[in-house]
Amino acid sequence: MRLTNIKKITGTIELVTGLHIGGSDTPMSIGGTDTPVIKNPISQQPYIPGSSIKGKMRSLLEWDLGVVGLGVCEGKPLSFEHLTEITNADEQQQAKTLLKLFGGAPKPDTSQDLIIDIGPTRLSFWDCELDQQWVEARGSNLLTEVKTENTIDRIKGGAEHPRHVERVPAGSQFQFVLSMRVHDDEDLTPMLIRGLHLLQLTGLGGSSSRGYGKIKLCLNDQTLQQQLDQLDKRAQEALA
């Protein structure tokens, strides 16, 4: 196995709806925020952790491959030990591709041939900072918003248990960066693009079922962007 290339994939993540990725708890003040977003401790600007993108994307691909449920992973992340539970040859190859992209922890008794076949983790996710040109264009406008939520009493119709959630507002733009190792001129981009497509369909961060975290990706590599757009188009046609 030979490292033949390292691809740097860049672009922009634009928020279609407000995003909440939680940060560390801070002391509450009267009228303050119950759940703050994660921020860069130096600039105090919100960002999207690379770990959040990697974890959500990997989870979505595992669901897409059908390995999450009983009989394979049983809710745990896909790893080397689960490959023997996948009997379909094509599905097993897809599972190996996922491990090549995202990595896995082999056990001491894992076959050395399998470890060599899969090799090192190919994808490296970077934290996504706010696009500074977008920040400058906003001027003095705040970079986050506070959304008040509550529970509605079904009988009385009144609001109960109000909470204040900090979000990065819709329209915010983040710099998207990841790098991908290429060994022996392999092409693992189809699964990478599939994962990015699933991210666009589902979103990032918490409360996605309530409309949070919907995103739009714009990749600088036009070939990859066309592949992503094709998947989006097929998904839209399937819903039509």
Return the pLDDT at 212. Answer: 87
Nearest to residue 21, comparing CAs of 194, 174, 177, 218? 174
What are the structural domain ranges in the chain?
3-50+121-239
Structure tokens at 181: 């190792």
Q: What angle do helix axes 89-102 and 50-65 make, rounded to 10 degrees?
A: 180
Nearest to residue 86, comparing CAs of 114, 108, 123, 109? 114
Q: How confident is the model at residue 30 (pLDDT cuts 50, 70, 90)?
A: very low
Return the pLDDT at 189. Answer: 95
Return the pLDDT at 73. Answer: 82
Q: How confident is the model at residue 33 (pLDDT cuts 50, 70, 90)?
A: low
Nearest to residue 4, comparing CAs of 100, 110, 122? 122
**pLDDT greater than 50 at residue 109:** yes
What is the rounded average pLDDT of the residues 7-36? 76
**pLDDT greater than 50 at residue 191:** yes
Interatomic CA distance for residues 180 and 195, integer angstroms = 14
Angle at 62 between CA 59 and CA 68, to 5 degrees: 100
What is the rounded average pLDDT of the residues 188-199? 96
**75-79, 184-188, 224-228: which range is least confident on average?**
75-79
Contact, 194 vs 64, CB < 8 A? yes
